[in-house]
């Protein structure tokens, strides 16, 4: 990966179909609801090679991950090893993160260490609402301890989610798990583990900003929303106190990176801050 030549690093993309197929009951209904919520142009989620091709044409690198949520959703878990091997075929443009349900305890901790050592995994993704856990639950700490040992970052979904939106009961997804204040405990207890709060954390935006301001190891990615909907306070913090801790993220394939960038160019971001958000902050965080 020639980072100097990249236009940007997208810190938040999803590998919805790492193997190109997914046959679980109810999965198509789930994807249809996601497509409707985000008005996605894709009839079927793109594969990893399709994702790589798209980003290569844009000259944008992408942090990519799945979500291990089989315990909560009933959808089969994606194989982290297989995903890492497939992503490695496109390592000029893709940066692989893994996902492990914290309920796996010590087994999950061993997997995390192995994935970094043997498969080149560069970070870990958590989705408290989809995985059905509070981030400060002590049962998750063995996994955090392993991640902290590797020095790799942990990315947490925060705020409302499009997952299950419009489905009966929101597909059973409970938004309270994704209040970023629970992650403040994790940031305090694991000060050497880089943590990314994903998305404008609606309806807890100010909580997220306060955590990122207070905890040196906490960053925010801007994925999941078009920038034209960013609240004013978020834009102010991007431009000032958090300009070195904000990361471009799209939420591919729900939101296309080119659409996000066009909308970002229309909001009042200081020119000197743009390269920090689009690439340099991510480059420093990922040590690339």
Cα–Cα–Cα angle for 80, 195, 64, rounded to 5 degrees = 35
In this prediction, residue 20 carries a pLDDT of 42
CA–CA separation, 44 vs 148, rounded Å?
36
Q: DSSP of 11-51, one letter per residue?
A: EEEE-SBTTS----TTHHHHHHHHHHHHT-S-SSPPBHHHH
In this prediction, residue 255 carries a pLDDT of 93
In this prediction, residue 21 carries a pLDDT of 44
- Can you say how many angstroms the Cα of residue 255 is from the centroid of all Cα atoms in its chain? 13
In this prediction, residue 37 carries a pLDDT of 54
In this prediction, residue 162 carries a pLDDT of 62
In this prediction, residue 41 carries a pLDDT of 66
51-105 pLDDT, tens digit each: 999 999 999 999 999 999 888 887 778 889 999 999 999 999 999 999 999 999 9
- The conformational region for residue 117 under phi > 0 = left, psi -120 to 50 = alpha, else beta, is alpha
CA–CA separation, 30 vs 41, rounded Å?
16
**Domain positions in the chain:** 3-286
Residues of the chain with pLDDT under 50: 18-21
Q: Class of the 3-286 domain?
A: alpha beta
In this prediction, residue 33 carries a pLDDT of 56
């Amino acid at each position: 990966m020639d980072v100097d030549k990249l236009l940007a690093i997208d810190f938040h993309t999803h590998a919805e179909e790492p193997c190109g197929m997914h046959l679980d009951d109810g999965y198509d209904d789930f994807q249809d609801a996601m497509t409707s919520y985000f008005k996605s142009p894709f009839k079927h989620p793109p594969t990893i090679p399709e994702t790589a091709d798209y980003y290569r044409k844009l000259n944008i690198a992408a942090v990519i991950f799945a979500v291990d949520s089989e315990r909560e959703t009933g959808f089969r878990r994606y194989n982290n090893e297989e995903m890492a091997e497939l992503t490695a075929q496109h390592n000029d443009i893709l940066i692989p993160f893994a996902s492990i349900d914290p309920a796996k305890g010590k087994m999950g901790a061993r997997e995390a260490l192995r994935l970094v050592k043997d498969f080149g995994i560069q970070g870990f993704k958590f989705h408290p609402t989809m995985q059905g856990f509070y981030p400060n639950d002590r049962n998750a700490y063995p996994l955090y301890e392993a991640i902290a040992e590797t020095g790799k970052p942990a990315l947490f979904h925060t705020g409302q989610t499009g997952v299950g939106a419009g489905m009966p009961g929101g597909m059973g997804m409970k938004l309270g798990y994704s209040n970023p204040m629970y992650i403040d405990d994790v940031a305090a207890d694991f000060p050497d583990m880089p943590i990314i709060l994903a998305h404008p954390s609606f309806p807890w935006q100010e909580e997220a900003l306060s955590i990122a301001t207070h905890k040196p190891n906490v960053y925010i990615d801007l994925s999941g929303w078009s920038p034209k909907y960013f609240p004013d306070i978020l834009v102010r913090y991007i431009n000032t106190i958090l300009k070195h801790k904000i990361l471009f993220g799209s939420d591919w394939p729900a939101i296309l990176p080119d659409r996000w960038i066009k909308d970002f160019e229309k909001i009042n971001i200081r020119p000197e801050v743009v390269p920090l958000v689009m690439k340099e902050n991510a480059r420093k965080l990922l040590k690339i």
